[in-house]
Amino acid sequence: MRKVYVIGVGMTQFGKFPEKSFEELGRVAAWEAIKDAGINPKDIEVAYCGNMMGGSLFGRDFGVGQLVLREVGITGIPIARVENACASGPTAIREAWIAVGSGLYDIAIAIGVEKLTGARKGVTAMVGDSIEGVSGLTPAAMWAMRARKHMEKYGTTLEQLAKVRVKNQKNGSKNPRAQYQKIYSVEDVLNAPMLSDPLTILHACPVTDGAAAAIICSKRVAKKYSSHPIQIAACSLKSGTYPTLRDISVNDLETRAAKEAYEMAGVGPEDISFAEVHDCFTIAEICRCENLMLCKEGEGGRMIEEGISEIGGALPINPRGGLLAMGHPIGATGIAQVAESVWQLRGQAGARQVQGAKVALTHCSGGFVDDDNGAGSVIILKK
């Protein structure tokens, strides 16, 4: 594999936009990435589009990537839609990384777009046709059980979980693209309406529309167009192993992906300047920091309690506000994490800037198979 770089990124405002189409959202993100890279759309040789719910909610079972990229004049090239649950966006990044790293192409675009509001009348999103989905084993219920297990096993408290939302809302208040920029207190989180005991609605990320894009290229192209390219030093993707009996407070899939990414990038957890972690629920950030070896097993609660994961802390987690403040437009989330990482590594993150950032880690996992995740991605970027 030859070295691969990101030279341009773009992102929409995240929020609920039932009146906006896939095309409009994707066009905004793609144009911003293209302008940021300083390239012509016709320079792009291959494209991958992360999207999960287009078919289920809008009957768009095919051609989402073509539909979106046509808006910016990208036609005639190989374009593929990528669906991999919450890891759809990172999987699109990985396909572009492989396409360029292999030497087959020099410039690729990875774009993620999702609409979760404004669905056709009478259409609803199902967890699945399995008995679990029908009988109510939803993501909220699953993460509530994980929270209970983590609290029982490690002494993690509800206050520590609430502080994850408080931290990420404070970060999101500094991010003009975040869906929710309001600052919450621990009491606000604890006293919000119950979602799935012990998690209130403020322990969960909101339903969101949005898009994000990244221009990915070879070293030769990066030198031509950019004075500050960001290297994709590692891009790992793993699937679950689906054991019938396992400890649901830990996730082997994420640890395996992280270990491979660290080895590929030639760094360790101690070298990470900040991380964008898939915090679909407050307990998810705590568990995943442990799974990614950003802290020791059982110490995710202490990490938030002691301020280690604050923007000014020893290891900032989710400086853009995470999914909790940004929202979670599924196909776009992982690419939005990469966009944030690029801005941070360039020193362009404004009020939420992590000072001296040199190495970033992004993580997404999702898709239930039994009680395990179906896919998990870890990407490491270097300045």
Inter-residue contact 201 to 102 (CB < 8 Å): no
The residue annotated as part of the active site, out of 203, 278, 328, 363, is 328
Q: How many residues does the chain have?
A: 383
Tell me the backbone φ, ψ of residue 45, rounded to 5 degrees.
Answer: -105, -20
**Closest among 312, 340, 310 to 326, alpha carbons compared:** 340
Burial class (CB in 10 A: 0-12, 13-18, 19+), 312: exposed
Inter-residue contact 376 to 238 (CB < 8 Å): yes
What's the rounded Cα separation, in Å, for the pair 146 and 142? 6
Structural element, H or E, at residue 101: helix 88-101
The residue annotated as part of the active site, out of 86, 287, 289, 295, is 86
What's the rounded Cα separation, in Å, for the pair 16 and 300? 31
328 is catalytic: yes
**Cα three-residue angle 364-365-371, rounded to 5 degrees:** 165
What token pair was written down for 219? 């070293």
Cβ neighbors of 243 (< 8 A, separation 6 or more) are: 372
What's the rounded Cα separation, in Å, for the pair 347 and 235? 22
What SS3 state is found at 1? coil
364 is catalytic: no
Indicate which residues carry an active-site annotation.
86, 328
